[in-house]
């Protein structure tokens, strides 16, 4: 069901609050792995890589 507010997502969230909760949990876990792996670059491509890594489960 599209409420017109909640972004499309992979976690089945149907409200912004549900999405935020799941996003916080999943991104926190991915952030830990990112800290361990480090960054490849500090340019736009690197920023995209970080974003993709952090939000791949959401």
User: How many whole angstroms separate alpha carbon 3 and alpha carbon 14?
Assistant: 8
- Residues written for the chain: 58
For residue 29, the model assigns a pLDDT of: 93
For residue 10, the model assigns a pLDDT of: 95
Point out the residues of the chain with pLDDT beneath 70.
1
For residue 1, the model assigns a pLDDT of: 57
Domain ranges of the chain: 16-55
Which pTM does this prediction carry? 0.77
pLDDT digits (tens, 9 = 90+) for 7-22: 999 999 999 999 999 9
- Residues contacting 49, CB < 8 A, separation 6+: 39, 40, 41
The b-or-e profile of 14-30 (16+ CB within 10 A means b, else e) is eeeeebeebbeebbeeb
For residue 39, the model assigns a pLDDT of: 80
For residue 40, the model assigns a pLDDT of: 80
How many helices (H) and strands (E) are present in the chain, helices listed first?
A: 2, 0
């Amino acid at each position: 069901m599209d409420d017109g507010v909640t972004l499309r997502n992979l976690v089945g969230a149907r409200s912004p609050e549900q999405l935020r909760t799941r996003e916080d949990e999943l991104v926190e876990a991915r952030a830990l792995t990112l800290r361990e792996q480090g960054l490849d670059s500090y340019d736009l491509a690197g920023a995209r890589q970080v974003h993709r890594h952090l939000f791949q489960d959401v």
